[in-house]
């Protein structure tokens, strides 16, 4: 159940924090007996670019997918711009979930562009049907975004005619077309050939420069270091360490983070 406004204000975790774009409080997610997110809390301020790192199975992707209810969380609260979603499985209405999703743009590891629709159709469907834009407005917005991701000449192509890097740039444009408060990137370059990673990172970097609020689950450590103002390291469904990138990469306090970083470096030198 979503609380009334007065209730919500009282229970807001940090009332003075007016710049918080996203607050996650005590989020829990179980798959059967297995608890994957164990009471995790996280705040993203306006313009924060937070990279979420961690070994596989640490709950990084599940965390992002819980935020927009692709995996309904079992417990916790999600606040977006002062609006609360009580995240209890079965207790959150579809209307609440969709209000949340409008504000959270999701970019998937495997792009997930609709295969039967052209690039332009992929971008305009949700703005037309969800936001109620008319066709002309939606197309104008789509064309601007295609210019931004450098793919205006591909507007009538089908996803299967594009490279992975191009598909991911279109997927980013599709998410941006909803003008979300926050962008969620779920390993946006993990499915790409190495030579295509750069073009996608360039687009994400440009978005960071516009001070958009972003949560990025990634394995690109150098990129995370350059583009984020905060690193969050997950271990077994909890935040093991968080801090500014320089401190995180040069002087992590957790032995697990040190082990993770050294194993990643070994990987590069193989």
Partner 1 sequence: MTLLQGFGDQIVAGAITTLQVALTSLVLGIAVGLGGALAKVSGIGALRWLADSYTTIVRGIPELLIILILYFGGTVALTALLGRYVEVDAFAAGVFALTIVFGAYATEVFRAAFLAVPRSQIEAAHALALSKALTFRLVILPQMWRYALPGLGNLWLTLLKDTALISVVGLEDLMRKASVAAGATHDPLTFYLTAAALYLTFTSVSLAGLALLEQRAGRGVRISE
Choices 66-74, 85-93, 220-228, 239-247 (CB under 8 A): range interacting with partner 1: 66-74
User: Quick check: 152 binds partner 1 (CB under 8 A)?
Assistant: no
Cβ closer to partner 1: 116 or 202?
116
The mark string for 205-234 relative to partner 1 (x by CB under 8 A, - otherwise) is ------------------------------
User: Quick check: 68 binds partner 1 (CB under 8 A)?
Assistant: yes
The least distance separating partner 1 from the CB of residue 118, rounded to whole angstroms, comes to 7
Q: Residue 116, Cβ neighbours under 10 Å: how many?
A: 10
Cβ closer to partner 1: 146 or 257?
146
Rounded (10°) angle between helices 135-148 and 164-176: 130
Choices 42-50, 77-85, 102-110, 146-154 (CB under 8 A): range interacting with partner 1: 102-110
The mark string for 154-193 relative to partner 1 (x by CB under 8 A, - otherwise) is ----xxxx------------xx--x---------------
User: Quick check: 108 binds partner 1 (CB under 8 A)?
Assistant: yes
Which residues of the chain form contacts with partner 1 (CB under 8 A)?
68-70, 94, 98-99, 101-102, 104, 106, 108, 110, 112-118, 125-126, 129-130, 158-161, 174-175, 178
């Amino acid at each position: 159940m979503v609380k009334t406004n007065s209730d919500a204000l009282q229970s807001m975790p940090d009332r003075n924090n007016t710049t918080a774009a996203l607050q996650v409080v005590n989020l829990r997610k179980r798959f059967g007996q297995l608890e994957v997110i164990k009471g995790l809390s996280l705040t993203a301020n306006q313009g924060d670019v937070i990279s979420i790192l961690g070994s596989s199975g640490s709950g990084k992707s599940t965390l992002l997918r819980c935020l927009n209810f692709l995996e309904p969380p079992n417990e916790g609260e999600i606040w977006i711009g002062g609006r609360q979603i009580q995240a209890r499985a079965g207790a959150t209405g579809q209307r609440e979930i969709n209000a949340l999703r409008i504000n959270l743009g999701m970019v998937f590891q495997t792009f997930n562009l609709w295969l039967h629709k052209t690039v332009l159709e992929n971008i305009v469907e949700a703005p037309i049907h969800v936001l109620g834009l008319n066709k002309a407005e939606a197309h104008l917005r789509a064309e601007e975004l295609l210019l931004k991701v450098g793919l205006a000449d591909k507007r009538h192509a089908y996803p299967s005619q594009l490279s992975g890097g191009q598909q991911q740039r279109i997927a980013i444009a599709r998410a941006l077309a909803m003008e979300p408060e926050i962008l969620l990137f779920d390993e946006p370059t993990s499915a790409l050939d190495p030579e295509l990673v750069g073009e996608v990172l360039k687009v994400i970097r440009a978005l960071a420069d516009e001070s958009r609020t972003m949560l990025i689950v990634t394995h690109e450590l150098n990129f995370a270091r350059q583009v984020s103002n905060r690193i969050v390291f997950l271990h077994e469904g909890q935040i093991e360490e968080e801090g500014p990138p320089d401190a995180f990469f040069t002087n992590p306090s957790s032995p697990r983070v040190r082990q993770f970083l050294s194993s990643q470096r070994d990987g590069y030198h193989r």
